[in-house]
């Protein structure tokens, strides 16, 4: 009997390792040069005052983006995204970190604040958390789920709270949380980011009201890496600066405290203050800029 139990344990262990390897391959396949199509449409609205409600316009945009893996360790993959705008101008875009069986999360609260939550190891067994960061590497949203490889499909799906995306907060302020269903599917020529989002009004008591819903469908079609040479060159010249920025944020996250940030200071968001620093700015200079945006109790 013991012999069979040992064989079962070994079989399950091998299966888990094979699954993890397949998961890692899926995550790393999101790297490279991509032609992107962003598509968003507001599908339903439930405003209490219909006379003053204005729905978001249908959005269709295209872009060229370079995604480079900047950390590739067992159980952690970090991918930096860089937009190529116009005739080769580079915009540091979002970053995604993937962590295996992660138990610590920041949940967005709706008032530029993130509440720390801890889950038992059993709850996240076999799962990968996707942590998304803003252009200035401040937290954005994160969630955990299992990568699924079945019937020729490879996908990951999660529900989480997030701040308003730039396409929304630059146009409206009548809600304060985007509750996102994010589905990432790896396909033959790239990957797809499928979204079903609730636009939520959360009050100070934590009561939510769904103002509207939207559909997002973003396609990442892989093209030759040579099309993104400008972004690759820019990252080599600036990666040490942004490594220092990440070091500062990691120091804050390691405190295991809730985080509240200022949206702006002196009329500018954090990323604009960081842009004013020289590429060879010291760790101390970067720390001081970020510290000014952290609201302390």
User: 174 lies in a domain?
Assistant: yes
Q: Per the structure block, which two tokens stand in for 224?
A: 């030759």
Q: Per the structure block, which two tokens stand in for 242?
A: 């942004």
User: 96 lies in a domain?
Assistant: yes
Burial 152-173 (b: 16+ CB within 10 A, else e): eebbbebebbbbbeeebeeeee
User: 34 lies in a domain?
Assistant: yes
**Residue-by-residue DSSP string for 106-125:** EEE-SSSEEEEEE--GGGGT
Place of tokens 């970053």: 95
Per-residue pLDDT 10s for the chain (297 aa) are: 665 544 444 434 555 889 999 999 999 999 999 999 999 999 999 999 999 999 999 999 999 999 999 999 999 999 999 999 988 899 999 999 999 999 999 999 999 999 999 999 999 999 999 999 999 999 999 999 999 999 999 999 999 999 999 999 999 999 999 999 999 999 999 999 999 999 999 999 999 999 999 999 999 999 999 999 999 999 999 999 999 999 999 999 999 999 999 999 999 999 999 999 999 999 999 999 999 999 986
User: 296 lies in a domain?
Assistant: no
User: 122 lies in a domain?
Assistant: yes
Quick one: angle between helices 229-253 and 283-291, nearest 10? 70
User: 297 lies in a domain?
Assistant: no
Tell me the residue range of the domain where 230 lies. 2-291
Q: How many domains does the chain have?
A: 1
User: 240 lies in a domain?
Assistant: yes
Cβ neighbours of residue 127 closer than 8 Å, sequence gap 6 or more: 100, 101, 102, 144, 145, 146
Q: Are 57 and 239 in contact (CB under 8 A)?
A: no
**Residue-by-residue DSSP string for 157-218:** EEEEEEPPPHHHHTT--S--EEEEEEEEEEETTEEEEEEEEEEEEE-TT--EEEEEEEEEEE
68/89 Cα distance (integer angstroms): 17
206/29 Cα distance (integer angstroms): 38
Residue 234 pLDDT: 97
User: 107 lies in a domain?
Assistant: yes
């Amino acid at each position: 009997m013991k012999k069979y139990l040992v064989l079962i344990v070994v079989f399950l262990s091998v299966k888990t390792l094979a699954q993890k390897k397949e998961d890692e391959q899926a995550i790393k396949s999101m790297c490279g040069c991509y032609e992107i199509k962003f598509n968003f449409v507001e599908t339903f609205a439930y405003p209490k005052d219909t006379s003053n409600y204005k729905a978001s316009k249908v959005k269709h945009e295209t872009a060229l983006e370079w995604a480079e893996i900047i950390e590739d360790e067992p159980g952690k993959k970090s991918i930096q995204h860089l937009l190529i705008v116009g005739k080769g101008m580079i915009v540091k875009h979002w970053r995604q970190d993937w962590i295996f069986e992660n138990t610590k999360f920041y949940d967005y609260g709706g008032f530029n604040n993130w509440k720390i939550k801890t889950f038992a190891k059993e709850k996240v067994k076999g799962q990968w958390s996707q942590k998304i960061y803003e252009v200035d590497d401040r937290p954005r949203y994160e969630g955990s789920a299992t990568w699924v490889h079945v019937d020729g499909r490879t996908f990951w799906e999660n529900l989480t709270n997030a701040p308003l995306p730039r396409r929304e907060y630059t146009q409206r302020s009548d809600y304060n949380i985007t509750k996102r269903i994010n589905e990432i599917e790896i396909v033959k020529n790239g990957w797809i980011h499928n979204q079903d989002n609730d636009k939520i009004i959360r009050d100070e008591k934590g009561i939510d009201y769904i103002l509207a819903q939207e559909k997002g469908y973003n396609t990442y079609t892989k093209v030759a890496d040579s099309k993104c040479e400008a972004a690759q060159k820019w990252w080599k010249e600036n990666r040490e600066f942004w490594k220092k920025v990440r070091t500062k944020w990691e120091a804050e996250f390691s405190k295991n405290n809730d985080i509240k940030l200022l949206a702006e200071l002196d009329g500018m968001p954090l990323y604009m203050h960081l842009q004013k620093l020289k590429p060879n700015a010291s760790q101390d200079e970067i720390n001081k800029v970020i510290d000014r945006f952290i609201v302390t109790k």
